[in-house]
Amino acid sequence: MRQRFLNALSFGAASVTLAFIVIAAFLSARTSFISKILIYGVFFMVGAGIGRKNVNLRTSPIAAILGFAVTSILYIIWGTFGFKFGASLAFALGSSLLLLSFVPEGAFDIVLTPFSYFGGFVIGNLLLSHLNLHDVEGALISISLSGVLGAFAAMMVAFLKLFLEESKRFGKRSL
């Protein structure tokens, strides 16, 4: 049951990334916020429905949770007492390094990890978009860059972890 929920979360977050790409590519900036929220919701529900299948994922569900958590914490920190740009990027990288404690199940899990992280980032942005951070210099750029950098770092960490595990297994086999 827990694994099915995590799979649904991972596929839902990855589908939100796909929705972001579709909205950025095909919809005008004048499209209402409610319409965009509906598109994100439909994509999430379809992705979560697909994700309920029996697929074993480890790092991508954690990446979705981390993407959401990092974005939410950055919004709260920037809105409350301000923050430094470099510190917010280090925060995103630190969350990606947390993924080192999880071993990916395979290539599909690795491919899904950055999309899930970015999907969690988008969901966090949607939920906290009512906070007025336009007046705080560098806040929105810092949050956006930390989301993109965090997704990239999550992918690199997943590749590194799989490489290390496979090389350990290969070393044991050759002896």
| Range of lowest pLDDT (20-24, 28-32, 59-63, 135-139) | 135-139
**How does pLDDT run across 128-140, given as a tens digit for each residue?**
877 777 666 677 7
- Answer for the pair 23, 125: CB distance below 8 angstroms, yes or no: no
Q: Is the pTM of the predicted complex or chain greater than 0.75?
A: yes
Q: In the chain, what's the furthest Cα-to-Cα distance?
A: 63
Q: How far apart are alpha carbons 92 and 114 in whole angstroms?
A: 13
- Answer for the pair 48, 64: CB distance below 8 angstroms, yes or no: no
- For 87, residues 6+ apart whose C-beta sits below 8 A from its C-beta are none
Q: How far apart are alpha carbons 144 and 140 in whole angstroms?
A: 6
Residues of the chain with pLDDT > 90: what percent?
26
Q: How far apart are alpha carbons 103 and 173 in whole angstroms?
A: 19
Rg (CA), the chain: 17
Helical segments of the chain, H only: 2-26, 33-51, 59-81, 85-98, 107-127, 139-174
**How does pLDDT run across 72-88, given as a tens digit for each residue?**
888 888 877 777 777 77
pLDDT of residue 75: 83
Cα 166 to the chain's mean position, in Å? 25
Q: How far apart are alpha carbons 143 and 79 in whole angstroms?
A: 12
Task: Name the DSSP class of 175.
Answer: -
Most confident of 1-5, 7-11, 169-173: 7-11
Burial of 51 (0-12, 13-18, 19+ CB in 10 A): buried
**How does pLDDT run across 25-47, given as a tens digit for each residue?**
998 888 898 999 999 999 999 99
1, two tokens: 């049951």
**How does pLDDT run across 149-171, given as a tens digit for each residue?**
888 888 888 888 888 878 887 77
